[in-house]
Structure 1
Amino acid sequence: MPASDSVDLFLFRHGIAAERDHGQDHPDRPLTLRGVQRTLAVANRLRALGYRADQILCSPYRRAAETADLAVQAGLASQARIESTLAPGRDPRPLLRSLHGRCLLVGHEPDLSALAAALIGAAPGSLRLRKAGFCHLRWDALLDDPFGHAELQALLKPRLLIPCSD
């Protein structure tokens, strides 16, 4: 794992969730059984690869909280905490400027991909996280503002971590 003079940010998109009701999003949509199984398999594989966070922060939406709980179950961190700025459409920039160590954020698209792109200085829309997808970014902990200065360490689709999945 990295030295303490860097910030390691892990982004984990929530797993497959129940369908939208009449095309409308709803904060209480749960993960499907397939979503739970696939997300837990991805989280277990990430742990086996040596990923571990000091903390997990997640969106208050049910599917993200369930994904964070699965990450805790897999041993990616000891506990998860709800963070309102990770709800869809919110601005997590102030949160990121206060991070240190290794932190896993669980949230939604297109927000997570836009965040990753902004951190590495890439064009909006240049990255995309699949459901239960994972991204690892790193920057120098001494930076006042990591945006445009982070390094992309990994961007992984679930099927790369658990090849039996589609």
Structure 2
Amino acid sequence: MKTPSKVYFIRHGIAENRADHVPDEKRQLTKEGIQKTRKVANRLHHLNIHFDLILTSPLLRAMQTADILQTAGLGHQIKESTSLVPNGDINNWLNWYQQWRQNGGHCLALVGHQPDQGNWAEILVWGEAKEGLLLKKAGVIGLVIPETGDPVGNSSLFWLTSPKLLL
């Protein structure tokens, strides 16, 4: 019998400001962003959290965040997903997720962007995005996804933490 899976939505760390000379996909974590994200990752490690897979947006700041999570020992494998780019498609991700679960996946980190991360969590819990969950940079939302059936509107929120509480 399959057990419910856990999905952790993790927003990328503090990144460079938007500027005309830096394309959005090339914005990288700031020095402060790297330091705070490392502290959050180390705290998650001390809480014995481990991911079967770290799935990340291909944007540089998200990939850097995923690398920090991996370096802290939270997961061995990182994979990029275009579903996690800003305004990504949750339905594409849900199709991917069902396959991943069938192949034995249990605990997943999704590294991406706000407001998408908060909206996706709301869709999975309440069946619709209400734009009420604000995920701070390097913050974490944890959901339990049911083992069978449609996860949309049937998932449970078990964790919503700002990075300040993890530092």
Q: State how far apart, in whole Å, the 1-side matches of 2:89 and 2:130 are.
A: 15
> Gaps spanning 5+ residues in structure 1: where?
none
Quote the offset at 1:123 in angstroms.
Answer: 5.0
> Which residue of the partner structure matches residue 79 of structure 1?
77
- TM-score, normalised on structure 2? 0.89
The answer to whether structure 1 residue 130 and structure 2 residue 136 are counterparts is yes
CA gap of 1:23–1:125, structure 2 versus 1, over 3 A, is: farther
Q: State how far apart, in whole Å, the 2-side matches of 1:157 and 1:64 are.
A: 17
Matching residue's letter, 1:148: G
The answer to whether structure 1 residue 139 and structure 2 residue 145 are counterparts is yes
Structure 1 segment 20-39 matched on structure 2, within 5 A? 20-22=18-20, 26-39=24-37
> Which residue of the partner structure matches residue 55 of structure 2?
57
> Gaps spanning 5+ residues in structure 2: where?
none
Quote the offset at 1:23 in angstroms.
Answer: 10
Q: State how far apart, in whole Å, the 1-side matches of 2:72 and 2:29 are.
A: 16
Quote the offset at 1:115 in angstroms.
Answer: 0.3
Matching residue's letter, 1:84: T
Residues 28-63 of structure 1, C-alpha deviations (whole Å, 9 max, x = no match)? 000001000000110110111121110010001000
Matching residue's letter, 2:163: P
2:117 to 108, 112, 119: 112
Q: Secondary structure at the match of 2:24?
A: coil
Q: State how far apart, in whole Å, the 2-side matches of 1:123 and 1:146 are.
A: 14
Which is worse superposed, 56-65 or 98-107? 98-107
CA gap of 1:45–1:25, structure 2 versus 1, over 3 A, is: same
Q: Secondary structure at the match of 1:30?
A: coil
* 1:60–1:84 CA contact under 8 A, matched in 2: yes
% same residue: 37
Q: Secondary structure at the match of 1:27?
A: helix
> Which residue of the partner structure matches residue 8 of structure 2?
10
Q: State how far apart, in whole Å, the 2-side matches of 1:36 and 1:4 are.
A: 36
- TM-score, normalised on structure 1? 0.90
Tell me the matched-pair count: 159
Matching residue's letter, 1:131: K
Q: State how far apart, in whole Å, the 1-side matches of 2:145 and 2:122 are.
A: 14
> Which residue of the partner structure matches residue 156 of structure 2?
151
